[in-house]
Amino acid sequence: MTQGMLAVNPIFTRGEVSARIFGSFAEHMGRVIYSGIYEPGHLAADAAGCRTDVLEAVRDMGVTLMRYPGGNFVSNYRWENGVGPVAARPRQVDLAWRSIETNEFGTNEFMRWAACAGVEPMLTVNLGTRGITEAVEYLEYVNFPGGTRLSDLRRAHGAEAPYGVKLWCLGNEMDGNWQIGHKDMEAYARLAAETGKAMKILDPGIELIACGSAKSDMPSFPRWDLCVLEHVYGIADYLSLHQYYGGQQMGTAAFLAQSEDFERYIATIRSAIAVTRALRRSDKAMYISVDEWGVWAAPPESVTREVDQQPWQVAPAISEQIYTLEDALLFASMLMTMVRNADIVKIGCQSLITNISSCIMTRPGGEMWKQTIYYPFRMLARHARGTVLEVAGSPACYAVPGSPQVPALDVLAVWNRAEGEVAVFCVNRLDNAPGALALQLQGFQPSEIAQCVTLTGGLRQTNEHDHSAVIPRESDVARLREGVLTAELPPLSFTMIRVRV
């Protein structure tokens, strides 16, 4: 394949990257919380029972935001069961994951964990089995200064000052018939609008995220999104979309091309927002929150055995996916797609932080290790900061069913004025040939290549046994001459090149 010359120019930009794009998600599901981020008695546990090895990995990964407590879990959750003296908290059934929730870890524990991790908290209210009253009460407990029953209850629980949580999700995936309390679009839209209105009366400074479509192939997409937007446009600040991709068995070319569907999904929601804004004659901006996203691995080679499939267990080891290099490349392209749409995508939550579709794996009582997908996230979170540049040109493409023009190289460029550099990120989707990158840096004065690192290896290689099998390594594939950056990128690889300008 012949790759044409690509170009970037500081005149042509796509938007400013929000730090909130580099968020993650902690749900009460399987071992995400218990023996994931929280394991009293572990050698690495702090005084609050949180694993310091995981905290260190979260900080190193560059996570900026954490969504909690769900997810499907939230739609049958009673937040008040997770506060107060731990010994007095009730055990309850979790209908979403058919397990037992001990409530040992709850809102105050999460808020302390978030402060230790240096991440912004993002909370979700239950609009499945509960409604306006319970959502407002949760907000009052968390954010109201004092002098009321619930705010004083928080203070009695050891949190004297209000937490001041800004981001609140109005339910989770309410378009899905798998959701406890699933509603049709009109019912959810009205409930979200009235709940959001009441919450903003109590705390006008909060930002609200309404449920958009849970997947790009939902039968109700995009009618659901248009309906919700019609009701909540003047109240909510973001519309959420969720997306996971699997299908490793379809072959590498088609598997990696799925980020093109993600691009179309975001474009459709962008259009729905624009249409609603025009219909309402509104000058209010509305943004997208991709607050669940990731690669869903397929058995047998990409998923560990589910250790305990019996229902009604505490923190059962379910869906513990082990990621390959191939998975990491699609993961990288998904995050690059979100950054590329930085003008409208302002929040992202990689799902999940530990043990299930996760960047970080833990063994109960044992070690912590980092999956293949950890590293693209870390590289982008650290260096995809600033202004997204439009990448112009005619890339070499291949075709797969549903995507007739898939660029062989997925290329993202971000100009960081503060650091004086342009960071270029490339996924070579070709499994049988190097990718020839030629990128003209128009309007810049490039001086040198500050760093070039590549993530590659065997297609099905994982980090499960050799934790450093698939990690970024310094590379000398890039050259800079007369304002043109060239590189011969290995087959099936993710490369970051930082150019000083």
Q: Please identify every residue annotated as catalytic.
A: 173, 292
Q: Which amino acid is at 80?
A: E
Separation CA 422–CA 501 (nearest Å): 7
Separation CA 77–CA 95 (nearest Å): 9
Q: Hey, how many other C-beta atoms are within 10 angstroms of the C-beta on 193?
A: 21
Pairing type for strands 387-389 and 13-16 reads antiparallel
Q: What does the DSSP assignment read for 35-99? A: TTTB-TTSTTB-TTSBBHHHHHHHHHHT--EEEES-SGGGGG--GGGGSS-GGGPPPEEETTTTE
Q: What is the DSSP letter of 458?
A: -
Longest pairwise C-alpha distance within the chain: 69
Question: What residues pair up with 422 in beta bridges, in sequence order?
Answer: 415, 499
Q: Any idea how long the chain is?
A: 501
Give exposure, 265-304, as e/b (b: 16+ Cβ within 10 Å): bbebbbebbeebbeeeeeeeebbbbbbbbbbbbbeeebbb
Q: Hey, how many other C-beta atoms are within 10 angstroms of the C-beta on 465?
A: 8
**Closest C-alpha to 374, from 327, 309, 434:** 327
Quick one: tokens of 420? 């004086």
